[in-house]
Copies of this chain bind each other. A is one copy, B any other.
Amino acid sequence: MAKHTEGMLHAEGMLHAYAVIMAGGGGTRLWPLSRQSRPKQMLTLIEERSLFQIAVQRLQALLPPERILVVTSQQQAAELKTHAPELPAENYILEPQPRGTAAAIGLAAAALGARDPQAVMIVLTADHYIGNEAGFHRYLEAAVALAQTGPLVTLGIQPTFAATQYGYIQMGESLGEFGGFVAHKVKRFKEKPNEDEAQAMIAAGDHAWNSGMFIWTIERIMQEFAQQMPDLHATLHKVAAAINTPDYAGVIEHEWPRIAAQTIDYGVMEHAANVAVIPAKELAWNDVGSWTSLFEVLPADTNGNLGLHPHHHDLDSRNSLVHGASNAAERLIVTVGVKDLVVVDTGDVLLICSRERAQDVRKVIEALKEKGLQRYL
């Protein structure tokens, strides 16, 4: 693919940059469309591409496919490969079991370190939406340049409202400009706030949303693992030593179940000494974390409706989303005079949810588990 030759890529500073797309999640917040066996990143909600495909393809102008890696589970890898056949098969890094984001990132870091000791690793998610791809590229270039000066870098998101569904990052002193953007020292990571706390952080003006996108050199992240998560670091050391040997499969199968699951936020970021944040503006970033968030991402008709079903007849509805499974194309969905409603029909499950209650789908999932109805999850 000629357009991916190095000569066309933006900056000399990107020559050692690698994207690592975290695609192991089993999120259920878009239930019943997302399932344990069909997580959010595999869903085709936008432009007939899966969120994972979109995550891969939005890197096209920034990185060649050889420098885009995916960390996922053995169960999900086969399907994900069909979504992004342009990536080399060896770029899919497989976890035998999920052990939290720290271990997943560590495994990718071990793989990258074996390929390129000078690698700068861009940790991305497979299931988020980013409307402004050109802006996204410029922020990543800035973050890579900053990471090469030493800090662990996180891309924050300039808040647009007092969200309670995201973690926040409090920004400290300026570290100067990188690629045209001002970077800050990270003062503190904060858990998802309540409504009042969120309002206070927005009013203070010195907080960004924690997007889960991180940029650092392999050298630096391995130092942090060694210092903060020595058990994981020791495991990664064994795995790294087996890379490109016949022992690799046996080593990882033996070691992985023994890892204590931990997030990168808690395991590394919150206690790391030198952490920087670049607050990104106008990325049109959205974590697609609930059915409501699709209203922000997808174009609605003049009545505010999102019709995602091939066979939908409406009379006078407003601000409602109707999603019917494509395998139920002969099924007719009729809506009459409904408002602010989310309708998701997957064949075996029909969800009808008030738009403002979309976050409570997780409560339904808990209740179904308690009822022994796992087959619907």
On A, residues with C-beta under 8 Å from B are 32, 313, 315-316, 330-339, 341, 343, 345, 347-354, 356-358, 360-361, 363-364, 367-368, 371, 373, 376
Contacts and interface: CB of A to CB of B under 8 A. Distances in A.
A357 B337 CA distance: 6
A337 B353 CA distance: 6
A351 B314 CA distance: 10
Contact of A354 (B32, B313, B336, B347): B336
Given A337-B357, A338-B354, A356-B337, A349 B331 contact: yes
Nearest to A367: B313
B348 A332 contact: yes
Contacts of A334: 32, 349-353, 364
A331 B352 CA distance: 13
Contacts of A341: 338, 341, 352
B353 A336 contact: yes
B367 A332 contact: no
Given A338-B341, A341-B338, A333 B313 contact: no
Contacts of A316: 357, 360
Nearest to A311: B373
B364 A313 contact: yes
Copies of this chain, how many? 2
6 contacts: A32-B334, A315-B364, A332-B349, A335-B352, A336-B351, A336-B352
Contacts of A345: 350
A32 B332 CA distance: 10
Contacts of A351: 334, 336
A348 B324 CA distance: 12
Contact of A348 (B32, B331, B364): B331
A360 B337 contact: yes
A43 to B, nearest CB: 18
A333 B353 CA distance: 11
A344 to B, nearest CB: 9
Given A331-B347, A332-B373, A337-B357, 11 more contacts: A313-B371, A315-B357, A315-B363, A315-B364, A331-B349, A332-B376, A333-B352, A334-B351, A335-B353, A336-B353, A336-B361
Given A345-B350, A348-B331, A336 B357 contact: yes
Contacts of A313: 364, 367-368, 371
A333 to B, nearest CB: 5
B350 A338 contact: no
A332 B360 contact: no
Closest 10 pairs between A and B when the two form their complex, measured CB to CB: A337-B357, A337-B354, A336-B353, A333-B350, A332-B349, A334-B351, A336-B357, A335-B352, A332-B376, A338-B354
